[in-house]
């Protein structure tokens, strides 16, 4: 219902007679100039951001104002998306004349309703826009941030939108700017999302990030055992791939984070080179034995008991071998495990010129001294 007579053509209010009765509640009598030429568009965007569908419908059905007219930051749809008004967004999307890709009016932003919804982490609003076939899913804002970038950045708050974009054929996922998504998905532990990404993009599963690390390394570093298992199950995975000796291998990354399940899975894979080193510390075992931490004892024992692990390795920090670290920690059990293996080199000296026996004598641990002196006899 409209108070007074409506003009047959699109017009703007110059008095209250042209304002629909359903919109009277939107008027702020202290601030609004009812004679202003833009009064109706002001009411339209105000009703859109507050979710007053009755008012918006009356104005649009009565041809009082164009649906895509902008006021302030943008159009009615832009405001509805910005203020997380889901039902209003759905109503506006139901109209054939709405511009779903309308840009915000703020100079230099290039935000669309979808971009602003994702930036605000309004997942349901963004999903409604993504599912509309008219929506440009590949647009970027003035900062070159994409819809996918905002959805990924939002984490669990925008997970529905992220997955909708990931699986939508209208979304151009092969854009080279999305190369980092592989690593983000591996790190986050989203197995199905990772599989969808790989299927849609045919991405190289062994590709390296800027630090020379693979998706498997990212998964290992974040203790995502499901992703690790999924990647190891692929015949073309290269579990030792890295960009240089400065980069961690998946095993080294898992050991550094004391990820017991991941270390076990990697050690169970015959393709994994357990003795690869990184420049700072050394091998996976060197890193495991760097500190006397009871919390990492299971990882340490797995490495010490693996027959492929070189027990004569020395770390890059003080030249200690695993035996020397065990002596330093006064860990009799570790000394026994190490000395149960053949070909342990007792002559290795650290940077201080001392052998494992020298360190044992200094510590006064009689059982450790006895074990070393009796080795091989």
Distance of CA 302 to the CA centre of its chain: 30
Give the integer Cα–Cα distance in Å for 331 and 196.
47
Q: What pLDDT shows up at residue 41?
A: 85
Q: What pLDDT shows up at residue 143?
A: 86
The structure tokens listed for 75 are 């159009």
- Say what the pTM is: 0.79
Q: What pLDDT shows up at residue 20?
A: 74
The structure tokens listed for 72 are 């302030």
Distance of CA 259 to the CA centre of its chain: 19
First vs last C-alpha separation in the chain? 104
Q: What pLDDT shows up at residue 36?
A: 59
Give the integer Cα–Cα distance in Å for 287 and 307.
18
Query: Other C-beta atoms within 10 Å of 12: how many?
Result: 16
Give the integer Cα–Cα distance in Å for 184 and 175.
16
- Report whether 41 contacts 12 (CB < 8 A): yes
Give the integer Cα–Cα distance in Å for 268 and 270.
6
Residues of the chain under the 50 pLDDT cut: 1-16
Q: What pLDDT shows up at residue 12?
A: 41
Q: What pLDDT shows up at residue 131?
A: 97
Q: What pLDDT shows up at residue 28?
A: 67
Give the integer Cα–Cα distance in Å for 194 and 189.
8
The answer to whether the Cα torsion of 200, 177, 127, 155 is positive or negative is positive
Eight-state DSSP code of residue 125 = H
Q: What pLDDT shows up at residue 315?
A: 94
Give the integer Cα–Cα distance in Å for 99 and 112.
10
Give the integer Cα–Cα distance in Å for 377 and 369.
14
Per residue in 220-242, pLDDT (tens digit) is 999 999 999 999 999 999 999 99
As beta bridge partners, residue 283 has: 277
Give which of 181, 172, 107 is closest to 151, Cα–Cα: 181
Hey, where are the domains in the chain?
Answer: 1-66
């Amino acid at each position: 219902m409209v108070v007074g007579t409506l003009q047959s053509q699109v017009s703007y209010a110059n008095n209250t007679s042209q304002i629909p009765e359903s919109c009277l509640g939107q008027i702020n009598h202290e601030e609004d100039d009812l004679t202003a030429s833009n009064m109706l568009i002001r009411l339209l965007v105000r009703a859109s951001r507050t979710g007053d569908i009755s008012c918006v419908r009356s104005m649009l059905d009565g041809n009082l104002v164009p649906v895509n007219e902008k006021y302030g930051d943008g159009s009615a749809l832009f405001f509805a998306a910005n203020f997380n008004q889901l039902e209003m967004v759905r109503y506006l999307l139901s109209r054939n004349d709405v511009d779903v890709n309308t840009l915000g009016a703020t100079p230099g932003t290039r935000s669309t309703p979808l971009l602003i919804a994702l930036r605000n982490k309004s997942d349901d609003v963004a999903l409604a826009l993504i599912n509309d076939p008219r929506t440009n899913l590949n647009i970027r804002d003035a900062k070159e941030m994409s819809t996918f970038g905002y959805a990924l950045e939002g984490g669990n708050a925008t997970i529905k939108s992220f997955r909708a974009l990931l699986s939508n054929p209208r979304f151009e996922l092969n854009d080279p700017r999305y190369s980092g998504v592989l690593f983000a998905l591996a790190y986050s532990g989203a197995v199905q999302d990772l599989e969808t990404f790989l299927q849609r993009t045919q991405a190289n599963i062994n590709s390296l990030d800027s630090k020379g690390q693979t998706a498997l390394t990212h998964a290992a570093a974040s203790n995502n055992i499901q992703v690790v298992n999924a990647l190891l199950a692929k015949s073309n995975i290269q579990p030792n791939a890295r960009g240089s000796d400065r980069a961690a291998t998946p095993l080294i990354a898992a050991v550094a984070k004391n990820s017991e399940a991941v270390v076990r899975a990697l050690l169970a894979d015959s393709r994994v080179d357990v003795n690869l080193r990184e420049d700072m510390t050394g091998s996976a075992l060197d890193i495991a034995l760097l500190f006397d931490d009871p919390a990492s004892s299971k990882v340490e024992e797995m490495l010490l008991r693996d027959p492929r692990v070189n027990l004569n390795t020395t770390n890059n920090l003080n030249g200690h071998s695993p035996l020397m670290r065990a002596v330093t920690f006064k860990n009799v059990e570790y000394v026994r495990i190490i000395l149960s293996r053949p070909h342990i080199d007792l002559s290795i000296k650290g940077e201080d010129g001392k052998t494992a026996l020298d360190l044992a004598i200094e510590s006064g641990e009689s059982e450790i001294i006895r074990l070393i002196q009796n080795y091989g006899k």
